[in-house]
Amino acid sequence: MIGVADEPADVDGRVPPRERGARSDPALPGGGVLAIAVVGLALGLAATAIVLGRGWDPGAVAVGPWVTHPRIGTPSIDPYARAELARSGAVPMASSEGLSFAATTDDTGYRLVSTCTYRLSGAVPPARFWTLTATDRAGLTLGGDAGRSAFTSTTVIRDASGGFVIEAGPEARPGNWMALSGDGPLTLTLRLYDTPLTGDTGEIASAALPGITRESCGGPG
Amino acid sequence: MSQRGIVASLSLLAILLVAGIVHIASLLVLPRVAPDDAFARLAAVTPEGSVSVLARGGSAKAALPGRDPSLATAVCRYDLDRGPLRVSAALGDEAFVALTLHSRSGVAFYGLNDRSGNEGRLELVVMTGAQLDEARSRDAADAPVRDVRVAAPQPQGFVMFDVLPRIGGEVEARRALASMSCRVEHAP
């Protein structure tokens, strides 16, 4: 197996020394150097594939279950986020547009699933406009074409104090109901348009974002 | 430590060194070679040098993943080797409007929103560094430059015009998107 391993699956691609005879010393020139090069190459590519596959990014900031990438919409984007954009074909929200937060777990750290019902309550950081969207991992909206899979700062019904409660689940609820469909992982995305939070990591870490609590699970069954 | 042990640990160190270099190099090379980046995805559905309205985000028809379904978006793909690109869009009373410049791989290198509108319009000229130098050398000393000139890091990229309409604003969004224009400016 001499061909350059392109896929990370070939981590175990140890190359047997081609010269016979040279025994006892494990790191002779030739076979040993080649083995080091190939194993190093495979490990390096595997690290890249794993890191990008998991979406790890040193520039990410977590606020409770919500994760944002403050520099992703700026020219000073870090190399990991830049490589991930190129791989996925995604276009980030520019810092002149605002900031986007994504949650894949609830407040207690359990994965969000679209068969469960969740309650989102609390405040949204200052912004001219915000949208909240329920999607699957690939970014496709859940809830069919009824248009019930997104809320915006103008469509949400607020209580007397200006706060709101949104219930996201497969079964219809009174009030702010966000429809969920399917039975896979769920991603909630909160996008703040024209917010003073952009570009200031310290402010973001202390921002007040809606809490996500699981109310019930199991779906209609 | 035996000689064998020294050789083994040196080999391990060498492997880690190679792995680290390969990891960093692959991260840096990926944006240049990724076959399915935003520019390539847009190239499949939009012509170069003119405005196209994209399908809403979140649907299976969406050209780009992970876009906000509430946004209406028009895009203009450019190649500055044909000349500088003048981009313009009218502002109405939409909830939010932004004009953003992206390089090939999607990195946002410049953006304006409706706060920076001038006489009801957002307008800018995208150029390569060389074109910017040339334009500056042509500038008359007495006439002030009115254009917002932006130097792009790469000759290829795209402009996104994002509109958040107010409630029930599909018609409003269409009208706003239709106001976007982008055209190549040929040197005089």
Q: In this structure, is residue A104 part of a structural domain?
A: yes
**Residues in B 75-134 with any Cβ partner in A closer than 8 A:** 95-96, 98, 100, 102, 105-113, 115
Task: Please give the ipTM for the structure prediction.
Answer: 0.88
Q: What is the DSSP string of chain B?
A: --HHHHHHHHHHHHHHHHHHHHHHHHHHHHHHH-TT-HHHHHHTTS-BTSEEEPPPTTSTT-SSTT--TT-EEEEEEEEGGG--EEEEEE--S-SEEEEEEEETTS-EEEEEEGGG-BTTEEEEEEE-HHHHHHHHHHS-SSSPP-S-EEE-SSSEEEEEEEEE--TT-HHHHHHHHHT-EEEEPPP-
Tell me which of B9, B18, B170 to substitute to probe the interface with A (most A C-beta atoms closer than 10 Å). Answer: B18
Is there a single domain that holds both residue A69 and residue A48? no
- CA–CA–CA angle B74, B77, B81 (5° rounding): 155
* Higher-confidence position of A11 and B82: B82
Q: Does domain B38-184 have CATH number 2.60.40?
A: yes
Most confident range, picked from A21-25, A136-140, B23-27:
B23-27
Among the candidates A54, A71, A90, a domain finishes at: A54
pLDDT of B32 strictly over 70: yes
So what's the pLDDT on residue A21? 44
Confidence of residue B182 (pLDDT cuts 50, 70, 90): very high
Residue ranges per structural domain of chain B: 1-33, 38-184
Contact B69 A189 (CB under 8 A): no
| Average pLDDT, integer, range A89-102 | 93
CA–CA distance, B141 with B135 (Å, rounded to integer): 12
pLDDT of B188 strictly over 70: no
pLDDT in tens, A159-189: 888 789 999 998 888 889 898 888 899 999 9
Tell me which of B13, B22, B59 to substitute to probe the interface with A (most A C-beta atoms closer than 10 Å). Answer: B22
What amino acid occupies position A134? A
**Residues in B 40-69 with any Cβ partner in A closer than 8 A:** 40-41, 57-60, 62, 64-69
So what's the pLDDT on residue B136? 87
Q: In this structure, is residue A221 part of a structural domain?
A: no
CA–CA distance, B20 with A132 (Å, rounded to integer): 39
Q: How many residues does the structure list for chain B?
A: 188
Is there a single domain that holds both residue A126 and residue A71? yes
Nearest-neighbour CA in chain A from B141: distance (Å): 32
Is there a single domain that holds both residue A75 and residue A175? yes
So what's the pLDDT on residue A154? 84
CA–CA distance, A141 with B43 (Å, rounded to integer): 24
Is there a single domain that holds both residue A123 and residue A145? yes
Contact A27 B38 (CB under 8 A): no
Range of the domain at A29: 8-54
Contact A44 B40 (CB under 8 A): no
Contact A26 B11 (CB under 8 A): yes
CA–CA distance, B126 with B137 (Å, rounded to integer): 17
Nearest-neighbour CA in chain A from B188: distance (Å): 32
pLDDT in tens, B41-67: 999 999 998 899 998 888 888 889 889
Full strand arrangement of the beta sheet holding A176-179 = A176-179, A164-169, A117-122, A211-216
Given a contact cutoff of 8 angstroms between Cβ atoms, the answer to whether A143 and A134 are in contact is yes
Secondary structure of residue A113 in the 3-state scheme: strand
So what's the pLDDT on residue A207? 85
Closest CA to A75 of A204, A199, A185: A199
pLDDT in tens, B130-151: 999 988 888 877 777 788 899 9
